Structure 1
Amino acid sequence: METIIIATDFSHAATNAALYAAELANALQKELLILYIDTLPVTYADVPIPTRLEEMTEMGEMEIKKLQERLILHTTGNISITTEIQMGTFFTTLTSVCERVHPYAVVMGSQGTTASERFFFGGHTVHAMKHLKWPLITVPPQAKFSPVTQIGLACDFENILATTPLSGIRKLVKDFHAKLHVLNSGSGSEYNPDTVFESALLEDLLSGLDPEFHYITDKDHDPDKALVDFVKNNHIQLLLVLPKQHHLLESIFHKSHTKQLVLNSDVPVMALH
């Protein structure tokens, strides 16, 4: 059976994401793995390392057991929920666990509720959204799980053949029995020749899913805000984004749309690479 990994630091936002992940696993009949990655902050460099590591490990074991018990109760024991504690740098360790487990998806809190949580765990989330090759769902601090019947796909209609994970999109839509909405807020006009060609190509590639296309007017010259507002106003429960890699020179001038959507969306955002 496929597994959903919930990566947690036991903060309020991460615990809320864990509750979402548990209900998601229950709805899709997947197993759930609670993963805590024990990292040693630089600020503790002057503390005897063995003593500090022992304290952190004991705390982690206690907190992960409490979370496991809470999620088992929350799902009334309907799914298998296991735990794992690893030590190391966050992204490298998460990648290693994913390579072993091959998860259906990874779930994380999109941002913390305190300044320190936003800085540390929020930074991990944005980096993972951009670089983790497994599907990753980020859950806003106040988001609650509800049946996913409407899925939005944020698409810029650029180089569709090379940048669109068609099999992943198809699997997700079919697993949820959901309606797919293709959302574009940055190409300028639905009558742009390139947009017409690429959108027609995508519609053909997604044949059988009957996607609905939306060209969102950007009145405030802020396509990310326009997209977030559309998702909220049209009751879309899950927003798919397709992070793209940029060369160093491009990245200096390129605004990270993925980051803006993760930090500002009121609904969970899922990255597919």
Structure 2
Amino acid sequence: MKTIVVPIDFSDISNNAMEYAIGFAQNTGSTILLFHAYQVPVSMTDVPIVLVSVEDLQKNAENKMAEVKRFVEEKTGKGTKIYAETKLGDTVDELENICSHVKPFAVVMGTKGATGLERVIFGSTTLTTIKHLTWPVIVVPPGKKYSAIKKIGFACDFREVVRTTPTHFIKDFVTEFNAELHVLNVDYRNLHFKRDTPEESALLHTMLEDLSPSYDFIEDENIEAGIEKFAEKNNLDLVITIPKKHKLLEGLFRKSHTKDLLFHSHIPIMCVHE
């Protein structure tokens, strides 16, 4: 059975991602594993002082997790298995250990944590997780509610497609939802067009032909902005990106220059490594 791992820190952003994960798990028949890591706070003085005992931290974390687990169980009924785990340690390290053990279908996270650093576009934990975790990570924007995944975008630059495209994962994921696949390529006056671009695009077409994807060539000076506009106009439910090759994550969740709202915050991003 598939497993969806949901790291939580009990913040509103985390809870929203958890509710998205509930719908995602029910849609795929997956088990949900709720996970929380806690650390011992230390006073930054000449002589470090532990502010709270490990026993108190553990009890508090376990009590909160028990409440969350009950909430999820009530929400899902008997049709979805729910597990919960709390660990003392670094969130990303412990998350990596758990993922290595359960081999999740995906990790579902929010974009900000409970630290309250409103000027940071992503919580540092989410960014670090995306960089280091080899399992697929779905980043859920604030306020996003789960809806059936019918249209999926894949951001591609047509460079070294054989080496860098996670073909098997994309095929399995798109097939799981019986979704449309849109291969998204952004260029402006052929600035990114190379001699091998036609060959690379032909290779990708062969690799993904079983899915009958549509190829959408977007004219825009800014790659991230071009994908944002296309995703909104064409009602994409999720965009797959390769973190090493795109700054799409930053683009889709950055603050608007004219509004105090997150730009296009309704689009979840799935990060899949090469």
Deviation at 1:117, TM superposition (A): 6.6
TM-score by length of 1: 0.87
Residue 204 of structure 2 corresponds to: 202
Residue 248 of structure 1 corresponds to: none
Q: Which structure 2 residues correspond to residues 43-192 of structure 1 after superposition, within 5 A?
A: 43=43, 46-48=48-50, 51-112=52-113, 115-116=116-117, 119=120, 122-186=123-187, 189=190
Residue 225 of structure 2 corresponds to: 225
TM-score by length of 2: 0.86
Residue 36 of structure 1 corresponds to: 36
Residue 20 of structure 1 corresponds to: 20
Q: Kindly provide the amino acid, as one letter, of the partner of residue 48 in structure 1.
A: V
1:37–1:114 CA distance, 2 compared to 1 (3 A):
closer
CA contact (8 A) 1:130 1:258 kept: no
Q: Unmatched 5+ residue regions in structure 2?
A: 255-262
Cα displacement string for residues 139-188 of structure 1 (whole angstroms, at most 9, x for unaligned residues):
00111100001000011111101101110000000101101000112475
Q: Kindly provide the amino acid, as one letter, of the partner of residue 25 in structure 1.
A: A
CA contact (8 A) 1:105 1:136 kept: yes
1:16–1:118 CA distance, 2 compared to 1 (3 A):
farther
Which 10-residue stretch deviates more, 259-268 or 149-158?
259-268
Deviation at 1:93, TM superposition (A): 1.2
CA contact (8 A) 1:129 1:258 kept: no
CA contact (8 A) 2:10 2:114 kept: no
Give the share of equivalent positions with the same residue, in percent: 33
Q: What is the distance in 2 between the residues matched to 1:39 and 1:260? A: 31
SS in structure 2 at match of 1:106: strand
1:110–1:48 CA distance, 2 compared to 1 (3 A):
closer
Deviation at 1:196, TM superposition (A): 2.2
CA contact (8 A) 2:111 2:141 kept: yes
Matched positions, count? 261
Cα displacement string for residues 78-113 of structure 1 (whole angstroms, at most 9, x for unaligned residues):
200010001111211111111111111111102248
1:183–1:43 CA distance, 2 compared to 1 (3 A):
farther
Q: Kindly provide the amino acid, as one letter, of the partner of residue 91 in structure 1.
A: V
Q: What is the distance in 2 between the residues matched to 1:89 and 1:188? A: 46
CA RMSD of aligned residues (A): 2.4
CA contact (8 A) 1:153 1:183 kept: yes
Which 10-residue stretch deviates more, 60-69 or 79-88?
60-69
Q: What is the distance in 2 between the residues matched to 1:164 and 1:100? A: 25
SS in structure 2 at match of 1:181: strand
Q: Kindly provide the amino acid, as one letter, of the partner of residue 40 in structure 1.
A: V
Indicate the structure with greater helix content: 1
CA contact (8 A) 1:239 1:269 kept: yes
Q: What is the distance in 2 between the residues matched to 1:129 and 1:143? A: 19
1:41–1:266 CA distance, 2 compared to 1 (3 A):
farther
Deviation at 1:224, TM superposition (A): 0.9
Q: What is the distance in 2 between the residues matched to 1:176 and 1:258? A: 23
Q: What is the distance in 2 between the residues matched to 1:55 and 1:120? A: 31
